[in-house]
Amino acid sequence: MSESLRVDVWSDIACPWCYIGKRRFESGERVWRESAGADAPDVELVFHSFELAPDTPEDFAGDEVEYLSRHKGIAPEQARQMLDHVTGIAASVDLEYRFDRLQHTNTVLAHELIHFAAANGRQLEMTERLMSAYFTEGRHLGRTEELVTLAGEVGLDTGAASEALATHAFLSDVKADERQAAELGINGVPFFVIDGTWALSGAQDPATFAAALAHAHRERDSVPVGGASS
Amino acid sequence: MSGVGTGLAAPAGGFAFLAPSQDACDGDACVIPGATRGTERTSLLGGDVRDGRVEG
């Protein structure tokens, strides 16, 4: 089996399309793997931080409809329709979005926790747990104690997680991800880069992700040792 | 330092986009889920996707 395909993903915990995109990617990877059979290499998924709204306060008194109405200047009914729309799409990939429970908050601490989890071999588990906690369970991801509890649920040391968040030990990693996104011209998420070359922006259909993985795998095999000539 | 945010550089000339962007969150506008869908005709993968199956 060949070397694993690396997939770098920029996303935000508070991004509804990112969670949908994660599910669609996972589905696409399964489709591709079934097509490729035993030749399919492993996929190494690496998440990177991207804060969509870094100026969001830790606490917002009100639900998501109120947030949209107040900050976007749209009618509550229009906001509700928009949220219903994305809730329906989430349901199509077996995700339960509960915007009635959602607690809008700043996500920088959650990103710090994802980097802490990465340093301890639990990045994928932590990312999934945080997205579920935010969109389905209405957990408050701007609060250290809540984040530490969730860290413990994926098998991380809660004492070490608490200390990492208190000292912001991984804040520089969050900012490094965001600087890199800016340098790469990434301004929307989710954003997928396969093998450092092939890019996909947004929550693409599973078939597109499957085709992208197949394409990257095929192109890799076609490149001669030492790289392509110019 | 986790090292997660390092080690990736765009190739000369930038990334090769395999499909038009769709359903992405762009800045604070993300909370308004009005994302748009791309069009198949501009996709490098246009010939690879058939009814949800991957064609070689």
**A-chain residues near B17 (CB < 8 A):** 199-201
Angle among Cα A83, A151, A187 to the nearest 5 degrees reads 45
**How far apart are alpha carbons B18 and B21 in whole angstroms?**
9
pLDDT of residue A215: 94
Question: What is the DSSP code string of A125-182?
Answer: HHHHHHHHHHHTS---TTSHHHHHHHHHHTT--HHHHHHHHHHTTTHHHHHHHHHHHH
Closest Cα partner for A196 from A9, A26, A41?
Answer: A9
pLDDT at B46 over 80: no
Crossing angle of the two packed helices A16-36 and A206-222, in degrees rounded to 10? 50
pLDDT of residue A111: 98
State whether residue B31 sits within 8 Å of chain A by CB: yes
Of B4, B15, B24, the CB nearest to A190: B24
CATH number for the domain whose boundaries are A5-59+106-222 = 3.40.30.10
Of B2, B8, B30, the CB nearest to A115: B2
State whether residue A8 sits within 8 Å of chain B by CB: yes
Residue-wise pLDDT tens digits, A92-127: 999 999 999 999 899 999 999 999 999 999 999 999
Of A8, A198, A203, the CB nearest to B16: A198
Is residue B53 within 8 Å of residue A31, measured between CB atoms? yes
State whether residue A93 sits within 8 Å of chain B by CB: no
Quote the minimal CA–CA distance from B41 to chain A in Å: 13
Nearest residue on chain A to B7, judged by CA atoms? A196
**Residue A21 to residue B23, Cβ atoms within 8 A:** yes
What is the mean pLDDT, run by run of 10 residues, along chain A of 230 residues? 89 94 97 90 96 87 83 86 91 96 94 98 98 97 98 98 98 96 90 94 94 93 52
State whether residue B18 sits within 8 Å of chain A by CB: yes
**How far apart are alpha carbons B2 and B15 in whole angstroms?**
25
DSSP letter (8 states) at residue B33 = -
pLDDT of residue B25: 85
pTM here is 0.88
Domain spans, chain A: 5-59+106-222, 61-102
E strand or H helix at B49:
strand B49-50
Of A115, A185, A211, the CB nearest to B48: A211
The tokens of B3 are what?
């090292």
pLDDT at B41 over 70: no
**How far apart are alpha carbons A8 and A10 in whole angstroms?**
7
3-state helix, strand, coil in chain A (%, to 5): 55, 10, 35
**How far apart are alpha carbons B3 and B5 in whole angstroms?**
6
Q: Is B28 left (phi over 0), alpha (psi -120 to 50) or beta?
A: alpha
